[in-house]
Amino acid sequence: MFDKLKEQPADSLLALIKAFHADPRQDKVDLGVGVYRDEQGRTPVMRAVKLAEKHLLETQDSKRYLGPEGDLTFVNLLKPIIFGAGRDLLDQIVGIQTPGGSGALRLGAELVAAANPNARVWLGTPSWPNHAPIFRSARVAVADYRFVDLEMQKIDFARVVEALSSATAGDVVLLHGCCHNPTGIDFTAVQWKQIAALLVERKLVPFIDLAYQGLGDGLEQDAEPARLILDAVDEAMVAYSCDKNFGLYRERVGALYLVSRNSRELQIADTNMASLARVNWSMPPDHGAAIVRAILESAELTEIWKTELQEMCARVNGNRAALAAAHPDLAFIALQRGLFSNLAISKETVAALRLKHGIYMAVTGRMNLAGMQPADAGAIVKALHAEGSLNAPAA
Ligand SMILES: Cc1ncc(COP(=O)(O)O)c(C=O)c1O
């Protein structure tokens, strides 16, 4: 049987991690891997998480099965953080715990395939490399359109309007809620309003991927675009990840939420989510969601978590400011949000930056701004200049 299989390419980022660790240069800079890094280059367990784990160790008295929907207290405690406290919308939302944001996207994709096999998902590119494969493997056709001009570091909004105008009623539109991966370029408030109007006019279903809430401008600000869209449309899906904003990556913590104005349809859709979860993973892993629940159930731990998240956010934006200040042609980096920016450079330049200057980034030119220190900005600019990707830095 296995002789029929074709070899699949290895993850290029994993090879990059290995190469970085093997590099003896003291001044090397790792802008490659997509996780938060602190001043020491570590991806630490957050203090709130450690305290919640301690609490769980002392109080958890059973590991019995919870069911395909996972920990619903966790799912419900997140709702006001994502959708806004005290809003009517909260009654029009159901959710289920998933293995990370990836599990939420997969489950959402399968729900689309089950509900409307003819639906396509409209995906602006570049995007997170796993988006299109997740939808395709769930048998949902992907209609992709290039919507960011990396040379200009700008959204080509006319392309977005054109794409959504050619979509068919019932098609799904994937939107990064904040902190776009890989570009860091989010829609402006005006553009979000235009998108909301188009979704309503064309009867399209938004599928919002919210994987970095709190790492752009703050928890509330980063949720505003999603809330604006959800207020406008009749139906929507939200894939949520706690893996970045709680630093829980390998614990696989996420949730899929469905929004509908029709309570009967919402309830039916909810049963479909549960049965799809059942055949995929039966039940999601508990530990990470239990940590998030323990944090959100405690005012004290919630405060600690929010403070830590703000510090992480401030560090990333500080690095953005340092790089932007180091060269006028990099000023755009300060205007972008989240962990990533994507330079318009060739893979040969990316290789030269790594080999000659010890500056590591993804082969696409995507940089993780959390991987640097403000003091690295000068070296990064010098290297980009040496490789012909920037004019001479000002004296
Ligand atoms: C835009 C985006 N969505 C979803 C995910 C998936 O997150 P998780 O690790 O929770 O599966 C990622 C992870 O990098 C991402 O960048």
| Secondary element (H or E) of residue 60 | none
Q: Which of 30, 71, 79, 128 is catalytic?
A: 128
Kindly give the number of the ligand 1 atom that is closest to the alpha carbon of 34: 14
Q: Which of 339, 334, 342 is nearest to 316 (CA)?
A: 339
Q: Are 216 and 177 in contact (CB under 8 A)?
A: no
Q: What is the pLDDT along the chain (395 residues), one digit of tens a residue?
A: 999 999 998 888 888 989 999 999 999 999 998 999 999 999 999 999 999 999 999 999 999 999 999 999 999 999 999 999 999 999 999 999 999 999 999 999 999 999 999 999 999 999 999 999 999 999 999 999 999 999 999 999 999 999 999 999 999 999 999 999 999 999 999 999 999 999 999 999 999 999 999 999 999 999 999 999 999 999 999 999 999 999 999 999 999 999 999 999 999 999 999 999 999 999 999 999 999 999 999 999 999 999 999 999 999 999 999 999 999 999 999 999 999 999 999 999 999 999 999 999 999 999 999 999 999 999 999 999 999 999 876 65
The enclosing H or E element of 235 equals strand 235-241
The question of whether 27 is a catalytic residue gets the answer no
Nearest ligand 1 atom, CA 241: 10
Pocket lining: 128 vs ligand 1, CB cutoff 6 Å: yes
Is residue 6 part of the annotated active site? The answer reads no
> What domains can you pick out in the chain, each with its CATH number?
10-44+302-386 (3.90.1150.10), 65-297 (3.40.640.10)
- Whose CA is closest to 208, among 230, 187, 186? 230
Q: How many CB atoms lie within 10 A of CB 102?
A: 19
Cα 372 to middle of ligand 1, angstroms: 21
Whether 335 contacts 361, CB under 8 Å: no
Q: Is 244 among the residues known to form the active site? A: yes
If you write DSSP's letter for every residue of 243-311 in order, what string do you get? TTTT--GGG-EEEEEEEES-HHHHHHHHHHHHHHHHHHTSS--SHHHHHHHHHHH-HHHHHHHHHHHHH
Residue 277's alpha-carbon distances to 268, 272, 285, in angstroms, are 14, 8, 12
Cα separation, 383 vs 395, whole angstroms? 15
Please report the pLDDT score of residue 11 as a whole number. Answer: 82
What is the number of the ligand 1 atom nearest to the C-alpha of 176? 1
Question: The pTM is what?
Answer: 0.97
Catalytic position from the list 244, 286, 305, 376: 244
Burial 154-193 (b: 16+ CB within 10 A, else e): ebeeeebeebbeebeebbbbbbbbbbbbbbbbbbeeeebe
> Is 93 strand, coil or helix?
strand
